[in-house]
A and B are shown apart, each in its own frame.
Chain A
Amino acid sequence: MAESQIRLAADVGGTFTDLVVVGHEGRVLTRKVPSTPPDFESAVLAAVDEVLRDEAVVPGSVTAVCHGTTVATNAVLENRGAKTALITTRGFRDVLEMRRMRAPQLYDLFFVKPPAMVDRYLRFEVGERLSAHGGILSPLDVAELDPIIEQLTAENVESVAICFLHAYAFPAHEQQAGDYLLRHLPGLPVSLSHEVLRQRREYERTATTVVNAYVRPIMHEYLASLGNGLEDRGVEAPLLIMQSAGGLTPAADAARNPVYALESGPAAGVLAAANAGSLCGIDNIISFDMGGTTAKAAMIEAGEIPYTTEYEVGASLSAGNRLTGGGGELIMAPAIAIGEVGAGGGSIAAIDGAGALKVGPRSAAALPGPVCYQRGGTQPTVTDANVALGYIRAGRLAGGDVVIDEAAATQTIREQIAEPLGLEIIPAALGVHDIANAMMLRALREVSVHRGRDPRDFTMVAFGGSGPVHAANLARELGMTRVLVPPRPGVFSAIGLLVSGIEHHHVRSCQLAGAGLDSGNVQASIDEMRQEMFDQFRRESVPLDTVTLAAGADVHFAGEASVIRIPVTGGGEGQTATVDIDRLCKDFIAEHARLYGHAGDDDSVIELCAVRLVGRTVGDRRMDVPEGSEPSPTSQSRHAAFADCATPVAVPIVTRAELESATAGPLFIDEYDATIVVPPGWAAKHDAHGNIIMTYGAATS
């Protein structure tokens, strides 16, 4: 690829590392190599080496390396973070450990609360205290830090978090303490809570700051060795890291505030879905990403990606709400709102003590894997059911060591599901498939119906190894009639890295209501953040004229626990936007009614709790990805069963290219690492961007 401007995207997951290379003229190359934990950079560099060698890419022609990484998340999940200490206000060192007090499940007397990331003996208190309104009740005496510094040294602490009460609004004491530590222990990374998160709620801010401190050294080291490795190969382009909220940030910033990049991987998939939609003029999308152990969904409305302000890490699954919270550390940092459930191709199906058929949450994962992989798995999985139904082809998976054994899949479904339930094999396998769908519907509904959105107004964009197998049936359950399967669904998330610009999110807690809720106050916060943000972009050598700003406000009725994020709009666009409070209030009331079914009453007072500013450079939001060259099908058809026709029928196997006009299902499109299932009642067509578009109810053949 002897082109002049080449961009690389590397998406590192737990199992595979995907590399996508895009040339100036739109040529695209992909590589999929096994990940190499714990030294994840090895796989990235190995894939880069392959591309440089095999494809004649000139290292100097690379203009950007965009990277999505699970290094920080894995450090949390596997307790491999830095030895971290916490310094906090006297009387409050246990705030971190007590969390919000709730256990994530009921009736489990043997529940073990996950230990705090900082041991109690490394949580230090100092005698400073500010009031809620900024009054100094007790000043910070930095001399109190001296014995703490001695202990930090004696204990070989690698990273420090400082969180004082009310520092979200009044950061002076944190700044003093941070400066003092920097003077006396230069080189020791110190995370100050007001720098990580300027929001009220001491546990959430402490936890977010501690997680930041905990993963900071490991992220720093990882990004440094990756950067050095790239430089050694002559790739001197900036290394940009995907953040949980979906924008890229320079590696130096991600190394300093890694807590913003914890959900890097899933975010990229949503961006890729948004990109795929915008190319063909679809801006209402529900993305659906189904892998081996989990399924994820996100809603993109009018091209806008929705954000969440809190989620948990370290829990078995990130919890989207507080009912099931408490299984991990709560992170209050912007992230793309993604619904996630523990159902994937590897989820195990079983019959419980009272004769009910259950799927998941246990997973056979990559090893031993489904029974049909013949790698030692003995319990039937969703993939086994899909093979028994004929949805997934038997034989060798392209490029892999895995050979799918159809007889083994059928046997395990018969012996462990069908016979105990007194069913035939097909209804039993359909049952497993449908129950997995019922679970995944929870994630899909969470991001749509539960937010007052009607899925029928949306198109599903399906990807991930198993996504295109289940997509059409799930869409039907939600009344959706259109499904888009992009080219290369297996490396689709990496595409998201290439369509994103550089992005920063800033926030200020406040409490404005009644007379205090005027445009001037809000404008002042926005102006202050804009200044900070411009300084940051300047430091990163980003030309300011490429930056667009979007302001938002967290609004609720005074007294409510949660907030709704409302865009702040006004007379001007972008950098000169002025605040229109009346419009903000009207928008809030409309959204509240939509979400919760009422718009308050005479008692209700609108209160603004935080002002947010997002700055982003324009990414390549319209990147076209040509389809890969797929092997020709080895057979013309195979038998498969569907809910509407449980007797197996011969289903034609076609390639994308063959679907020039809408062709009625049932059909299979077998590809490199995914099968697209077009059930009866659906029709499929290939579009100009290489997508398969499936539509329901409009079948013509």
Chain B
Amino acid sequence: MSTVDPITLEIVSNALASTADVMAIGLYRTAYSTIVRDALDFSTSLCNAEGEQIAQSTTIPFHMGSVPDAIQSMFRKYGDAIEPGDVFILNDPFDGGMHIPDIFIIKPVFVGDRRVAFAVATAHHLDLGGRVPGSSACDNRDIFQDGFRIPMLKLYHRGEPDEALFALLRANIRVPVMTFGDLRSQLSACHVGEHAVLELIERHGIETFESCAREVLDYSERLVRREIASWPDGSSTFVDYIDSDGCGGPRTKIQCTMTVAGDTLTADLTGSADQVPGAINATRSFTVATIGFAMRSAMSQVLPNTEGMFRPLEVIAPEGSIFNVRMPGASSMRGVVGFRLADVALGALAGIVPDRIPAACEGGNSLVIFGGQRLESQDAYVYYELLCGTWGARPDRDGNDGLCSPANVAANIPIEEAECNYPIRIERYGLVNDSGGAGRFRGGMAVEREWTLLEGEAQLTIRSDRRDHPPYGLQGGQPGRGSTNVLRHAADKEVLMTMVSTGIKEGETIYHRQPGGGGFGDPLERDPKAVARDVRNDRVSREAAVESYGVMLKDGSFEVDDETTARLRAERSHG
């Protein structure tokens, strides 16, 4: 086994990273569904011949680390029967997948008969059958309600499509034009990845490529170990809750203990809830990916996107718990448990590296899904909104107002696009004042959006959270304001649960307000000028300036009344 010189390694590593990005750009440009092409809920990666992930594009961090599990499943099932021209498909969470909506497309790359790599594209699909449009509902009670299971199978065998599999899939989904359009974009991304790898091998030789494909993993590992070794040894535990169990039941406990020992990190999730009846359970691979995200975000080093980063990390996730679901548990809405685990893992790390960890963000994106039939054409439609939000305050600066939480990198759906293509009108979309947690540094403002259904009836599914357990503040910072969902009928209105599937009729309106981000540090220590600026920009009201920050502005102006402010703050800190 030869080692590669650092210069060749850097050149190949650059090429691998840019190849993953090129795959991703081709994918979103040709995808059909709003969730892939606009919200960008997908990832592309390359793995070495052993199935270890050696590059992922600048896409969903939660997919990082899930791909190798899928490939291991392929090895178990197909062993030596993995051949040139094969393309594999998978979504089954009990066969190496993550949750029903995420389809993996995996293409082995060969030079002659020698397998050298895998090109992988994973995308969240608009609909894969199941109980409700969108194949995701928090109150799904088992995997069969979630949707159509695809175990690890060959979609193409030696270049020939498996027509039976295509036909079966087409018969079990609601919007095949969208689904097949997105599938094609995944296939084309893998095709692009395959060609780029072959070109790299032609340039550098197969031995060098394979050495680099091992070394990039070691390199990531070294960076992570070096970083963890610089953290103090010790343990820290953090607990938070999801408001329900997905089916309107009691809150779900999420606990994480982080332990640093030398250059290793252990995340022990013992103490978290058992598997719940609703669809907010996670597979182990998704759990590990989430912890990996938290660990990596706490690091000061910039890492290449490879699986090597997971080597110094151990994750303890008891089987049958919410973090390691057993058959036939539902998991379609597992995103929320990932977001909460990220919050809790970061919360635990705040006890170890406090100057690197922000207060809680909005808690991840909310999903608002409309599914129905167009009146005129009778075509089925699924309108899938992935609403994202806002950041918690940082140890040295405010949270970002109106930016996708760091655990996700989704984008929003343009209102004008939505209104031109779906029977939906968006009544407002903006930031909410007095919603960011008060602190020396203020939490980001909550995002609100309101939709009117313009024709017929539709199934409405919402996944949101953090109404009863709002995003936490740190070191004296206040929590952000909790979320809400309001369904307005013709005559009255109804406050909906955070996680719900229900009907909506023409002319009715659904309003969703996401939570605000948590604050950091004592609000009474916030620079009064920053408070005045927030008041002027309607981010904080005059009342809240006095109430939460002890800052009085001069009548009708945006100038700080220094004297009153000093008095108010003195009273508060002594009282």
Contacts and interface: CB of A to CB of B under 8 A. Distances in A.
Contacts of B38: 561
Interface string A329-357: 00000000000000000000000111111
Contact of B397 (A101, A110, A603): A110
B222 interface: yes
Contact of B29 (A97, A324, A562): A562
Interface stretch (A60-68, A199-207, A464-472): A199-207
A101 B403 contact: yes
A43 to B, nearest CB: 37
Among A100, A202, A357, A601, find the residue whose CB has the most chain B CB atoms closer than 10 A: A100
A551 B135 CA distance: 43
Given A105-B58, A106-B409, A168-B416, A354 B537 contact: no
B26 A356 contact: no
B85 to A, nearest CB: 15
A167 to B, nearest CB: 10
A620 to B, nearest CB: 37
Interface in B208-229: 219, 222-223, 226-227
Given A98-B447, A322-B40, A442-B18, A109 B406 contact: yes
Contacts of A596: 26, 29-30, 185, 188
B403 A113 contact: yes
B57 A323 contact: yes
Contacts, number: 217
Contact of B181 (A94, A108, A511, A603): A603
A92 B59 CA distance: 28
Nearest to B29: A562
A121 B188 CA distance: 46
B425 A131 contact: yes
Contacts of A27: none
A200 B417 CA distance: 7
A25 B404 CA distance: 60
Contacts of A597: 188, 191-192
A101 B364 CA distance: 13
Interface string A495-508: 00000000000000
Contact of B30 (A92, A201, A354, A562): A562
Contact of B415 (A202, A321, A326, A604): A202
Interface stretch (A31-39, A221-229, A253-261, A432-440): A432-440
A112 interface: yes
A358 interface: yes
A598 interface: yes
Given A100-B412, A356-B6, A435-B11, A107 B181 contact: no
A99 B187 CA distance: 30
A414 interface: no
Given A94-B429, A442-B14, A323 B181 contact: no
A356 B57 CA distance: 21
A601 B30 CA distance: 13
A409 to B, nearest CB: 19
Interface stretch (B72-80, B172-180, B471-479): B172-180
Given A91-B430, A353-B226, A438 B15 contact: yes
Interface string A530-568: 000000000000000000000000000101111000000
B431 A97 contact: yes
B188 A603 contact: no
A111 interface: yes
Given A353-B301, A450-B22, A203 B414 contact: yes
B420 interface: yes
A356 B410 contact: no
Interface residues of B, number: 87
B394 A560 contact: no
A94 B226 CA distance: 42
Interface string B6-26: 110111011100100110111
A491 B387 CA distance: 49
B307 interface: no
B356 interface: yes
A664 interface: no
B400 A112 contact: yes
B542 interface: no
B539 interface: yes
B411 A106 contact: no
Contacts of A358: 10
Interface in B270-323: 293, 296-299, 301-303
Contacts of B539: 120
A94 B28 CA distance: 26
B37 interface: yes
B18 A103 contact: no
B446 to A, nearest CB: 11
A521 B61 CA distance: 45
A112 B401 CA distance: 10
Contacts of A102: 40, 403-404, 409-411
Interface string B89-112: 000000000000000000000000
Chain B facing A: main interface SS: helix
Contacts of B412: 98, 100-101
Given A201-B414, A598-B184, A601-B184, A107 B293 contact: yes
A90 B303 CA distance: 43
Interface string A106-148: 1111111100000111000000000110000000000000000
A109 B297 contact: yes
B256 interface: no
Contacts of A425: none
B427 interface: yes
Contacts of B403: 98, 101-103, 113, 326
Interface string B163-195: 000000000000011101100110110011000
Contacts of B177: 559, 603
B291 to A, nearest CB: 13
A438 B14 contact: yes
Contacts of A355: 6, 222
B11 A92 contact: no
A113 B188 CA distance: 33
Nearest to A604: B181
Given A94-B431, A165-B415, A110 B10 contact: no
B53 interface: no
B197 interface: no
B384 interface: no
Interface centre among B6, B25, B406 (most CB of A within 10 A): B6
B316 to A, nearest CB: 23
Given A94-B402, A562-B30, A107 B61 contact: yes
B420 A511 contact: yes
A358 B57 CA distance: 20
A431 B411 CA distance: 38
A347 B523 CA distance: 42
Report, nearest first, the 4 A-B pairs whose CB atoms are least far apart. A91-B428, A561-B37, A559-B32, A562-B29
Given A100-B411, A101-B411, A561-B37, 18 more contacts: A90-B428, A98-B403, A101-B402, A102-B40, A107-B406, A108-B406, A111-B406, A120-B538, A121-B537, A202-B414, A421-B6, A435-B11, A559-B32, A560-B32, A562-B28, A596-B26, A598-B184, A600-B184
Interface of B: 6-7, 9-11, 13-15, 18, 21-22, 24-26, 28-33, 37-38, 40, 57-59, 61, 176-178, 180-181, 184-185, 187-188, 191-192, 203, 219, 222-223, 226-227, 293, 296-299, 301-303, 356-358, 388, 394, 396-397, 400-404, 406, 409-412, 414-417, 419-420, 425, 427-431, 447, 450, 536-539
15 contacts: A93-B430, A97-B402, A98-B429, A103-B403, A103-B406, A112-B397, A202-B415, A204-B414, A322-B40, A323-B28, A356-B13, A562-B28, A598-B184, A603-B177, A603-B181
Interface of A: 90-95, 97-103, 105-113, 119-121, 131-132, 165-166, 168, 200-204, 321-324, 326, 352-358, 421, 427, 430-431, 434-435, 438-439, 442, 445, 450, 477, 511, 557, 559-562, 595-598, 600-601, 603-604
